[in-house]
Chains A and B, each alone.
Chain A
């Protein structure tokens, strides 16, 4: 919104030098910026206004498809309804009531504002000697262990060790019952075994 205000400010300075024709162009621009600026940018590649783009957001249809002109028009015209009774109050209420955080315009147009890039939380697993688990693991257990291993780069070592303790029944060894570093190492080995290193 501040980007739009800036466009209008610059335009008013430039067009202000042009007397009445400038005034007319300014009014037309004001109109265009008020109603069609988002439509224009949402229909360009990237499907996002500059503000959304700066925040890594874009608009898509509920189906994940690129936004259609009709949907963009509807969601941006209904901005007027979202704005009522003051300062987007209805839009805010609609967003807070819904898990997918849609305002009224998004509900009617069937559109969704999403993060443009997928966030990668999982890095490479730290190296460890592959090790078969002591018992057969369910797919959920396998997934949890591999996901845990992939998060090694994003967690502190202490937290990583702490999480590994949850799988203690798999890693506990008779000789070293309380060795957390050993447990982490063992669980990493199991993770490598699960993804197929044997």
Chain B
């Protein structure tokens, strides 16, 4: 005589109830709804959390998984399997939740993972750099030779505006600007530049074409402005303005373009993986690059708004600081995080077992 669903349920339901109560205790401990409820629950939660032994919780979870497998293979009633599915899914989420967030992770990201990831992607970086700088120089030289060429990249109003911004005869950039205006520009740069970098990345999902396009387009746009202003004789005002934050901004745009190219390459040449798996792997690795890009662009925007625009600083000082920043960025990307202190690549899954807010325990022994 095989076990009937009712016998199965009556034999196991105590364990399921226990698991359900433990889940409820941990989950309410995680997100108390209101302040009153928070205080009210604090005592209960403390009691509940201390009452739950992590190893026991893991044993309950494994038992529920076993029961679910049995219930499915024996075609037990749907209400049994749905309850077990619900319980195991909730427990699974709690047990395998990543918990290595916070400052330590950020520090590791900044000091090790990001520069290492940049070096690991040097081929993409090279391509992205060439695709960005080649139009920059070509269009720059073309515009320098024929300033009217700027009109093929920007409309006349924008060109006049650039003239106005960097020209000596007009209101010089920055001198009349108060602190609040600097803040305004900071907001503007954040909005604009990080958006450009993100589009360079996102465009990569179309076989890298989008990244190539955005890189080349932004390179050409920047080159035409540089060429035009140099030809008009505003070179010093312009270059002393862009040299400092450019170290962070141009690097960041090239890096995010490289991250996009990584996506595109994974799609076009997935190797021994399916295209989808290759894309997922590429995206998880490229995400590290994107983190760094965001940080670089925030630095760039702050410099651009508060330092680059400061007219009371002489061009010589700005060139000096600019050179120091370039050296800093290049040095950081080439030397930081060497030698590899952690053998595991940054993309390896770092989810640790048992990270619910109790003492951590490996799910080692069977229950």
Query: Which residues of chain A have a CB within 8 Å of any CB of chain B?
Result: 19-21, 23-28, 30-31, 34-35, 45-46, 60, 64-66, 68-71, 73-74, 77-81, 84, 104, 107-110, 118, 120-122, 139-140, 142-143, 146-147, 150, 194-197
Contact = CB atoms under 8 A, between A and B. Distances in A.
Given A19-B180, A66-B93, A74-B284, 5 more contacts: A21-B183, A27-B191, A70-B291, A71-B283, A122-B79
Contacts of A78: 202, 205, 283
Contacts of B184: 20-21, 23-24, 27
Interface stretch (B50-58, B62-70, B95-103, B242-250): B95-103
Interface in B55-87: 74-79, 82, 85-86
A28 B187 contact: yes
- Which 10 interchain pairs have the tightest Cβ spacing? A196-B4, A27-B187, A196-B6, A143-B75, A70-B287, A24-B187, A80-B202, A24-B183, A20-B180, A139-B75
B74 to A, nearest CB: 7
Nearest to B305: A24
Given A64-B93, A65-B93, A45 B79 contact: no
Contacts of B82: 118, 120, 122
B160 interface: no
Interface stretch (B166-174, B193-201, B309-317, B331-339): B193-201
A110 B283 CA distance: 9
A35 B93 contact: no
Nearest to B97: A66
Given A65-B92, A81-B210, A195-B5, A70 B198 contact: no
A81 B205 contact: yes
A24 B180 CA distance: 8
A55 to B, nearest CB: 19
B153 to A, nearest CB: 22
A60 B96 CA distance: 12
Contact of A146 (B78, B202, B206, B284): B78
Contacts of A84: 206, 210
Given A64-B92, A70-B287, A80-B198, A107 B78 contact: no
Contacts of B290: 73-74, 77
A52 to B, nearest CB: 16
A10 B199 CA distance: 27
Instruction: Find the residue from A20, A64, A140, A194 having the highest chain B CB count within 10 A.
Output: A20
Given A109-B283, A122-B82, A194 B4 contact: yes
A78 B288 CA distance: 15
B191 A28 contact: yes
Contacts of B92: 64-65
Interface of B is mostly: helix
Given A24-B186, A35-B194, A70-B287, A195 B77 contact: yes
Instruction: Find the residue from B195, B202, B282, B286 having the highest chain A CB count within 10 A.
Output: B202
Nearest to B88: A64
A68 B284 CA distance: 10
Contact of A110 (B75, B89, B280): B280
Contacts of B5: 146, 194-196
A162 to B, nearest CB: 20
B183 A20 contact: yes
Contacts of A69: 101
A118 B85 contact: yes
16 contacts: A24-B185, A31-B190, A34-B195, A35-B194, A68-B98, A70-B287, A71-B284, A74-B283, A78-B205, A109-B283, A110-B284, A118-B85, A122-B79, A142-B75, A147-B78, A195-B6
A188 B210 CA distance: 61
A35 B97 CA distance: 24
Nearest to B178: A20
Nearest to B203: A81
B361 interface: no
Given A24-B180, A68-B98, A70-B287, A31 B205 contact: no
A195 B276 CA distance: 43
A71 B279 CA distance: 12
B180 A21 contact: yes
Contact of A197 (B6, B79, B187, B287): B6
A101 B195 CA distance: 27
B7 interface: yes
Given A65-B96, A80-B198, A118-B82, A70 B75 contact: no
Nearest to B256: A77
B30 interface: yes
A20 B184 CA distance: 6
A147 B74 CA distance: 14
B263 interface: yes
B351 interface: yes
A167 to B, nearest CB: 16
Contacts of B279: 107-108
B359 interface: no
